[in-house]
Amino acid sequence: MKGPRKQVPTFVFAALLLLGAIYGCATIMHGTSQDIGITSRPTGASVTIDNKDLGKTPVVASLSRKDHHIVKIELEGYETFEATITRSTSGWVWGNIVFGGLIGLAVDAITGGLYKLNPEQVEGALATKAKTEISTDDKLVIAVVLRPDPSWERIGNLKVAAKETKSTH
């Protein structure tokens, strides 16, 4: 005669099933945030991401994988540099399909673990601002700029002089 069979209590089985469903493959493997390096030329520029101050360059920002992010790099005397960090599907989605099923896939989509952020490094090459305040004080001032200030009044154009050719008679 056989003895009584030991059964795994249903609450243990349910707890194990719940534990497997709590975390998806990508969330476990690379988390819900990603470090993004931010630098500028010149260094020491202020960095804001999604309108939150992060400090001065160079800086590393830990960003949520589930959102897109707007990066602004500003330094007095320079044009503001802006970049968008976007999300795309991580390769770990295949791990969910194989091991986690729909529950793991849903968990990763909700937590953001399903995504990776691009680019992984942002470098802002800051262009110097054109000086728009010109004091004339009875002087003739010629400003050579790439983009003229729309409030300036155009008083003339410079033309390239034609080359004189020497004739030999």
> pTM (2 decimals)?
0.59
Q: What is the pLDDT of residue 128?
A: 87
Q: What is the pLDDT of residue 22?
A: 47
Q: What is the pLDDT of residue 102?
A: 65
Q: What is the pLDDT of residue 160?
A: 75
- Which residues of the chain are under the pLDDT cut of 50? 21-22
- Tell me: the pLDDT tens digits for 64-91? 988 999 999 999 989 999 999 999 877 6
Q: What is the pLDDT of residue 41?
A: 93
Give bridge partners of residue 52 from the DSSP assignment: 49
Mapping DSSP onto H, E and C, the string for the chain reads: CCCCCCCCCHHHHHHHHHHHHHCCHHHHHHCCEEEEEEEEECCCCEEEECCEEEEECCEEEEEECCCCEEEEEECCCECCEEEEEEEEECCCHHHHHHHHHHHHHHHHHHHCCCEEEECCEEEEECCECCCCCCCCCCCCCCCCCCCCCCCCCCCCCCCCCCCCCCCCC
Distance CA 148, CA 150 (A): 6
Q: What is the pLDDT of residue 54?
A: 95
Residue type, 45: A
Q: What is the pLDDT of residue 115?
A: 84
Q: What is the pLDDT of residue 149?
A: 73
Q: Could you identify the residue written with the tokens 């673990």?
A: 113
